Structure 1
Amino acid sequence: MSTREFFEVEAKFAVTDDTEVPDLTGIAGVDGVADTAVHELSAVYYDTGDLRLTRSRITLRRRTGGTDAGWHAKLPGEGGRRELHHELSDDDANTVPAALIDPVRAIVRDLPLVPIARVDNERHESTLTDSGGAVCAEFCDDHVTAWSLLPDGDRTTWREWEIELSDDYAGTDAGADLIESATDLFGTAGADPSESPSKLVAALGDSIDDAPHPPCVAELAPDSAEAGVLAVLEHNYRRLLDYDPRVRVDEWDSVHQMRVATRELRSHLETFDGVMDGDRYRGTARGLRELASVLGAARDAEVVAERFRDLTSDGGSGVVAPEATAALVASVRADYRDAHARVVEYLNSPEYLRLLEELEKLLADPPFRGDADAPGSGDTGDTASEILLDHLGRAYRKLLARHDHAMSVWDDRSVPLREREENIHRIRKAAKKLRYSAEAVGAATGLRTKHLYKACSRMQSVLGDFQDAVTSRDILLAKAEQARADGGADTFLHGLLYQREMANGEQALAGYRRTMDAVVDAYSELDNQRRKARRKAGDKSGRSGKKGGKKH
């Protein structure tokens, strides 16, 4: 059965039973009412027992009646909501289709989905058209009866208006003007913007307060280093959850962004080792490494596919046969599709769902070392800060050591090119580690690490361009070998592109030394901050001690 996706832009209004619908052609951009109809709709909403979807502003329902009967999932989106529709079948009355579970898998995991509300609606629907006769919006006058199926849930009734833009108007300036005009017109008629974001939330009412909550992030002393640690971890955990559904539908750049969030989480866990402790903590880091590896394979294939597309745009010089170019580009695109399929398979695996659960538990019950009974109470704040700063110092010294080694042999042609390039790649990984450590230290200690973070980011960008060229060359070699094995195909194109990538790598590396100087300067600046902060803290402690002596 097919699943369709829409972008929904609508506005809801609360009205009383006796509020009269105004002349809808009074809305700017609306020239006529093409059709009116009355539909009897009935929907059952599903969620986990602790309402994970509802609390994430996501609705999942099975609706009968009207023109769009089926399974519907609505997810938050920028400027509107993503709406997924899946057809009904005779045997799916209580079984949510996998096509609608996958986009929210990171939230519901493998928890059972159960009915939480029923909403019946007598809908008076009007189709609105613009001056050209095209449908611009749909107006609905809804008379709703709902039942909360949660413990102590009640039956409620209400009336509301909805105006939803058509696909052609959603996300446009004309659509925004139409919604604004409708809001003004409906307000004049006695309608108020709805306080409830959805019919489901209105149906649940106060009963939602009695439902169990999923694990929440631990509440810590706001100014403690531990609170900063937890905030950094939570930020990237939320990013990971946010990009999960985007990766599944192969949204542009989503694999890259999810990989970044995963790597940052893993690096932060390494940075916080000593602040946090335990087997569960280290097991989470191992799970993140596996996820990063799966995402990395797809990201590398994606980058190479983009590079090959650009590299083969030779302006029609005639040096390379168009058929050879098309075949090579098609081959690397197929590599990406295969790698992306493996990512989606992993995102549905028990290992990935277990990782998400471990991260959730880590945030809810952080295993802070030395104060397990009351994490974040402030007793270990100074120790935590010192541990983080020590990790930062070690990350910086590792970067310097890798830089010195790589530069000492870079011009030595007796050292294999592969080894010299791997040395550069190790610098990039060290810069990434230092960047993540700087972010974590800044959040946890209050030190200004922004300059160091940005300097490391610039270095990563330069060395990333270099590494992309190296990865592209590796793929070109593999493709050339495969072409020869498949029957002696012409590999001139592979060699031509290989040389272009050699030149691209050299060009990227030309700016590296300036980025290294910037990192050194930024770290020196941060080190001076640290020493001043220590002296200030020492002076303050000394004055406090003297005052104490006078009292005694």
Structure 2
Amino acid sequence: MSINKFFEVEAKFAVSADTAVPDLLRLPQVKALGEPRVHELSAIYYDTEDLRLSREKITLRRRTGGEDDGWHLKLPATGGRVELHAELGEPVDGQFAVPEELLAQVRSVVRNHPLAPVAQVDNHRTESAVTGADDLPWAQLCDDRVTAHSLLPGGTSSTWREWEFELSEQLAGEPEGARLLQAATGLFIGAGARVSSSPSKLTSALGESANDAPLPTHLRDPGIDEDSAVAGVLEALRANRDKLVAYDPRVRRDEWDSVHQMRVATRELRSHLGTFSGVLAGEHVDRVQDELKMLARILGQARDAEVVEERFVSLLEAEDSGTVDEQARRHVREDMGAEYARAHRRVVAALNSDRYLQLLDDLDLLLAEPHTVAPAPAQPAERPKKSSPERVLLEQLEQAYRKLLKRHRDAVDSRYNEKVPLPVREEKFHDVRKSAKKLRYAAEAVGAATAVKTKRLYRACKSLQSSLGDFQDAATSRDKLLELARAAHRRGEDTFGYGLLYQREREVGRAALREYAEGVEEIRAAYDRITRRTRGKK
């Protein structure tokens, strides 16, 4: 079944039954209006018993009538919503089934929970097309008179009227579109409309009955003191759990940078669990960490291939010596793209697995029922130390900082030691980068959970991590160039061009390390500042 994708940007307005539609020709640069068209639409909305989709601002419906009847899935996106359409299909045993292609897009949200009808929305729609000065469609106004029925326990029926002003694909997400929406909003409000307080027809249809639906696991109150160290760690975990779930469908659609962002969320989750082992612990935490490590590895393979492909394109664009022959150029352009495509298929297969869905369930359970570390009993001769969220988290921050310094010294000691193989020396700097990343995550969590100011340390870690990331990317690119060169040699092809590109990447890597010492000193200074300000709390 084919899936059509659209980017939807619209504004919704509540209007009374007798409010007259204003003259849309008063909008700037609007040239003409199409003849009004009337449609009778009927939609059945689907969700889980605990309204997982609705709570994530996702709507799934099967709609008949109009020019786009079929299954519609709407997902939140920056500046609007992504809308996916699939054909209605034929019923099986009298029941319509959600198309697998759409179900995959919400799998991280619904997991294995069944989807069932939660609302019926019938709509008498009058559509008016808006044409711009360039004679192209700019927008359309939908004058909707709605009758809705909540199918939830205790649900009722309701009626209302609303206007939807939706931009065309040409203007959606563009500055001209934003200006047109702003002008339309002023025009409609002047005519007696109000900006709608409801984000969707489904929300209006469900009304108060949505309040009686059970909560999904991750939204249940864990019963933790809001001022405790555990609350701060849970807040950091929840943010990345939400990011992981949100990027899942984008990875499946292979959107730009989605694999990278999902990998970051996965690594941050694992890092928080490891760094704050003095706050949360238990077999459940260990299991989640192990599964996150597996997921990060699979995402990492795709991300590495993606990064190298981008670097190869840049290398070829910058190469002006004319010494890289066409055979080498073709392999450099195409081979990593094919490797990324294979790696992306493995990622999607992992996201479709029961193992991944269980990981998401385990994460949700960890947020709802955190297993905290009990304080060690004081020795008889000792006076019990007063425990505080700051002290517990600062101890974890110190451990992360000391680990960074240890790896830094190890990397510097072997940097110019030619007795140590180059890959080993470079791997030591990669270890420093991983430690800087963990210290950055720890600083973020401490800053969120306490009054300790950690932004300077966070920024210093991020800066060092970025420069070492460039270094690592150059090293990974070199390794791939070496593989391509060896393959070309086996085919009897000229390998000089690969060597030239290899050396260029070697220089890029060296340049990335030029400010390394300064970056480490900035981290020292930022951490020392925290130590001075929190002396006595650890």
TM-score interval, smaller chain:
over 0.9
- Indicate the residue corresponding to 1:360 in structure 2: 364
Cα gap change, 1:507/1:208 in structure 2, threshold over 3 Å: closer, same or farther?
Answer: same
Aligned partners of 1:399 and 1:173: how far apart in 2?
45
Distance of 2:483 and 2:160 partners within structure 1: 65
Q: Which residue of the partner structure matches residue 188 of structure 1?
A: 190
The residue number in structure 2 matching 1:274 is: 278
2:489 equivalent to 1:484: yes
Map of 1:374 onto structure 2: none
Letter in 1 for 2:269: L
Q: Name the stretch that deviates more: 253-262 or 392-401.
A: 392-401
Q: Which residue of 2 aligns with 1:14?
A: 14
Check conservation: 1:9, 1:164, Cα contact below 8 A. Answer: yes
* 2:529 pairs with 1:530: no
Q: 2: distance between equivalents of 1:406 and 1:25?
A: 68
For 2:164 and 2:42, how far apart are their aligned partners in 1?
Answer: 17
Report the secondary structure of 1:345's partner residue: helix
- The structural deviation recorded for 1:496 is 1.5
Identify the residue that residue 502 of structure 2 maps to in structure 1: 498
Q: For residue 513 of structure 1, report the CA deviation from its aligned partner.
A: 1.3
The DSSP-based 3-state class of the residue aligned with 1:44 is strand
Measured after TM superposition, the shift of residue 314 of structure 1 is 4.1
Whether the aligned pair in 1 keeps the contact of 2:128 and 2:141 (CA below 8 Å) is yes
Paired residue for 1:54? 54
Q: Could you tell me how far 1:71 is from its partner in structure 2?
A: 0.6
Counterparts of 1:73-472 in structure 2, within 5 Å, are 73-91=73-91, 94-215=96-217, 216=219, 217-370=221-374, 382=387, 385-472=390-477
Query: Measured at CA, do residues 435 and 96 of structure 1 come closer, stay the same or move farther in structure 2, by a change above 3 Å?
Result: same
Corresponding position of 2:379: none
CA drift at 1:199: 1.1
Say if 1:169 and 1:175, in contact at 8 Å, map to a contact too. Answer: yes
Asked whether the equivalents of residues 229 and 279 of structure 2 are also in contact (C-alpha less than 8 Å), the reply is no
1:2 corresponds to which letter in structure 2?
Answer: S
- The CA deviation at 1:380 is 11
Which amino acid is 1:66 matched to? G
Q: Give 5+ residue unaligned stretches, structure 1.
A: 372-378, 535-552
Q: Tell me the distance in 1 between the aligned counterparts of 2:421 and 2:130.
A: 70
Preserved CA contact (<8 Å) 1:75 1:81 = yes
Unaligned runs of 5+ in 2: 376-383
Deviations 1:307-346 (A, max 9, x none): 1111122454321113421222200111111111111111
Aligned partner letter, 2:82: R
Distance in 2 between the 1:525 and 1:202 partners?
52
Instruction: Give 3-state SS (helix, strand or coil) of 2:71's partner.
Output: strand
- Specify the alignment match of 1:376 in structure 2: none
Provide the aligned length of Structure 1 versus Structure 2.
526
Determine the C-alpha separation between the residues in 2 that align with 1:344 and 1:380.
Answer: 49
Structure 1 residues 115 and 322: CA distance shift in structure 2, 3 A: same
The one-letter code sitting in structure 2 at the alignment partner of 1:429 is K
Contact 1:28 1:182 in 2 (8 A): no
Q: Secondary structure at the match of 1:35?
A: coil
Q: What do residues 160-189 of structure 1 show as CA deviations (whole Å, max 9, x unaligned)?
A: 222211111222333233323333333333
Q: 1:122 to 1:225 in 2, by over 3 A?
A: same
Specify the SS of the correspondent of 2:30: coil
Paired amino acid for 1:456: C
TM-superposed deviation, 1:510: 1.9
Give the CA deviation at 1:68. 0.5
Structure 1 residue 441 displacement after superposition: 2.6
| Structure 1 residue 27, shift from structure 2 partner | 3.0
For 2:15 and 2:435, the matched residues in 1 are separated by 60
Cα distance in structure 1, aligned partners of 2:110 and 2:250: 16
- Is 181-190 or 329-338 further displaced after alignment? 181-190
- For residues 491 and 331 of structure 1, what CA distance do their matches in structure 2 show? 15
| Distance (whole Å) between structure 1 residues aligned to residue 287 and residue 512 of structure 2 | 37
Aligned to 2:380: none
Partner of 1:32: 32
Q: How many Å separate the matches in 2 of 1:249 and 1:424?
A: 34
CA contact (8 A) 2:10 2:166 kept: yes
SS of equivalent to 1:179: helix
Deviation at 1:115, TM superposition (A): 0.6
Aligned residues: CA RMSD: 2.1
For 1:116 and 1:443, the matched residues in 2 are separated by 38
Whether the 8 Å CA contact 2:275–2:400 is kept in 1: the answer is no
SS in 2 for 1:419: helix
Which residue of 2 is the match for residue 545 of structure 1?
none
**Contact conserved, 1:123 with 1:140, CA < 8 A, in 2?**
yes
**1:225–1:382 CA contact under 8 A, matched in 2:** no
CA shift in 2, pair 1:198/1:472, >3 Å: same
Tell me if structure 1 keeps the 8 A contact 2:390–2:537.
no
> CA distance change for structure 1 residues 415 and 368 in 2, over 3 Å: closer, same or farther?
same
| Displacement after TM superposition at 1:20 (Å) | 2.5
- Code of the residue aligned with 1:269 in structure 2: it is L
Give 1:2's aligned residue. Answer: 2
- Specify the SS of the correspondent of 2:153: coil
Distance in 1 separating the partners of 2:195 and 2:449: 41
Q: Displacement of 1:522 after TM fit?
A: 2.0
Report the CA distance shift for 1:29/1:529 in structure 2 as closer, same or farther (over 3 A): same
- Structure 1 CA distance, aligned partners of 2:193 and 2:402? 65
Pairwise CA distance, 1:305: 0.7
What is the distance in 2 between the residues matched to 1:415 and 1:163? 66
Partners in 2 of 1:40 and 1:57 — Cα distance? 25
Measured after TM superposition, the shift of residue 463 of structure 1 is: 1.6
By how many angstroms is 1:24 displaced? Answer: 2.9
Change in CA separation of 1:434 and 1:42 when aligned onto 2, cut-off 3 Å: same
After superposition, the Cα gap between the structure-2 partners of 1:412 and 1:147, relative to the gap in structure 1 and judged at 3 Å, is same
Bigger mean CA offset, 117-126 vs 41-50: 117-126
Q: Secondary structure at the match of 1:531?
A: coil
Kindly report structure 1 stretches of 4+ aligned residues shifted beyond 6 Å: none
Q: State the TM-score, normalized to the length of structure 1.
A: 0.90
Alpha-carbon distance in 2 for matches of 1:320, 1:145? 67
Distance 1:172 1:498, change over 3 A: closer
Check whether the contact 2:227–2:389 (CA below 8 A) recurs between aligned residues. no
Corresponding residue SS for 1:18: coil
Over 3 Å counting, the alpha-carbon distance change for 1:161 and 1:405 in structure 2 is closer
Distance 2:2 2:53 in 1: 23
Distance in structure 1 (CA, Å) of the matches to 2:179 and 2:316:
44
**Aligned residues of 1:225 and 1:381 also touching (Cα < 8 A):** no
Which residue type is aligned with residue 456 of structure 2? H
